[in-house]
Amino acid sequence: KISQIRFEDKYIAIQELHEKENLSIILLCEIAGISRAAYYKWLKRVPTDRELLNEEIMKEMKTLQEKVDGTFGYRQMTLHMNRKFEEDINHKRIYRLMGIANIRSVIRVKKKQSYKPSTPQHAAENVLNREFTAEKPNEKWVTDVTELKYGTKKAYLSAIRDLYDGSIVSYVLGHSNNNNLVFKTLDKATALLNGERPLIHSDRGFQYTSKKFKRKIDKAKMKQSMSRVGRCIDNGPMESFWGTLKCEKYYRRKFTTFEELSLAIDEYIQFYNHERYQKRLNGLSPMEYRAKAA
């Protein structure tokens, strides 16, 4: 509401609402608790450099928010605006300007996940032990499978994430949650290795406890780690990525075909790896951060 924002921003809000919504200036001034004379005096002033920059920031934020389907909050928006304008713009300023421009992020939908107990053929210790940082690429990987829907059918997305930069190393979308889905994901990831031997961490799903998966791990001379029973947080970074993907892409629309869903996943992971800036990566995207290590 106009009456709840800072006084210096009320004029901007009145101007925006009048131009975009065709609302009465008399009414807007009354709501804001300012005189029409004060508003018109402000309207005729020469804008300061800061005000002009604010206008440009709001335009860029609106364009970006459309691009990402309305999913960015002020933290992501701050990272992107700092990169765009090559300035150190305070997050409080971005938050305030988002309010003026009526830019809001969508609310993440939390869903409970159920796990089917399995009798493992092979089990590994929790070697990762929630140490979710890595010193170099391909040192620590985490992996998991999540369920998605299209129409009345189900699809399953398997992915491997590198803890060094948070990038998705490999992923496979399939019709069935089976061993082949996970094995293909691992094969795609290990094909990219150049002598590295990552630790790979997963939950205790039947695919990861199978003898064939263990043989693939041994062939690549990698070490295996598994979450403790019923401890989802042991694989926290992978759970976090599923939440981000679903919030920013999957929950935003209904998918009717497998092809539509597959294209959306391809687009999002490309965006996530190359264009989604992260504060913990010094404002870089995962691939930009990874390139610096190389």
Domains in the chain and their CATH numbers? 2-100 (no CATH), 140-293 (3.30.420.10)
At residue 108, the pLDDT reads 54
- Lay out the sheet containing 168-174: strands in order across: 168-174, 153-162, 140-150, 199-202, 223-226
Quick one: DSSP state of residue 248? I
pTM: 0.70
Please report how many Cα atoms fall inside a 13 Å half-sphere around the Cα of residue 102, on the Cβ side.
Answer: 9
Q: At what angle do helices 91-100 and 7-21 cross, to 10 degrees?
A: 40
Residues 261-292 have pLDDT tens digits of 999 999 999 999 999 999 899 999 999 999 98
Residues 120-135 have pLDDT tens digits of 566 788 889 888 989 9
At residue 54, the 3 state secondary structure works out as helix
End-to-end CA distance of the chain: 49
CA dihedral 154, 159, 163, 168 (to 10 degrees): -110
Could you say which residues of the chain have pLDDT below 50?
1-5, 109-110, 112-115, 117
